[in-house]
Amino acid sequence: MPENKTENNRQPHQKMNLISPELLKAPRSGSICRGFWRMPAFRIKKGRSAAKGRGETILVLEDETVVLNITRVMLERLGYNVIMANSPSEAMESAKAHEGKIDLLLTDIVMPEMNGREFADQLKGLFPDIKVLYMSGYTANVIAHHTVLDEGLHFIEKPFSSHRLAVKVREVLAIYDFPAG
């Protein structure tokens, strides 16, 4: 008898639970309700392959511990080396202590201390060739409205799937990534 599965390959009895709900208010912009969902394990559908890493190093800066850990697991499963930090100061310390190249900064935009754009600008002083992918629970339009994200910068909206993250990271890493020879 065939199994009854939903569209995203979950068993119908598996549930997603809301964790860490929060209400965010932005002056003159209204309110945003944000929450993180605990999701059951999933499998990529047959015929759909994730864009795999090639051992590149990614510095992930995210102030939400749950999101930071989930992102780390996703990236490691895709074949990336991950350096984690939950604040800009911790990220800078980790970057300075890292021996070797950091290929990509994956940073939240809205954080305490400074925003992701400001941090990326500082980090480029140490790693001028680093590529940057910004992430946020706000839409790109809201972020752009607050002049934090300019046109042409790379952005992924949270929450994101492992497949979406894989594709976006490969896309950003591929820019100006020409084979030697």
Q: Domain containing 132 — which CATH number?
A: 3.40.50.2300
Per-residue pLDDT of 131-149, as tens digits, reads 999 998 877 666 655 555 5
Is residue 159 assigned to a domain? yes
Is residue 100 assigned to a domain? yes
C-alpha–C-alpha distance, residues 13 and 5, integer Å: 9
Total domains present in the chain: 1
Is residue 95 assigned to a domain? yes
Per-residue pLDDT of 91-142, as tens digits, reads 999 999 999 999 999 999 888 889 898 999 999 999 999 999 999 887 766 6
C-alpha–C-alpha distance, residues 168 and 108, integer Å: 15
Opening angle at CA 80, ends 105 and 99, nearest 5:
65
Is residue 12 assigned to a domain? no
Is residue 27 assigned to a domain? no
Of 78-87, 136-145, 153-162, give the range with the top mean pLDDT.
Answer: 78-87
**Which residues form the domain of 86?**
48-174
- Please answer whether residues 105 and 132 qualify as being in contact, where contact means their C-beta atoms are separated by less than 8 angstroms: yes
| More reliable by pLDDT, 48 or 135 | 135
Per-residue pLDDT of 161-176, as tens digits, reads 999 999 999 999 997 5
pTM for the whole thing? 0.70
Is residue 75 assigned to a domain? yes
- Please answer whether residues 171 and 53 qualify as being in contact, where contact means their C-beta atoms are separated by less than 8 angstroms: no
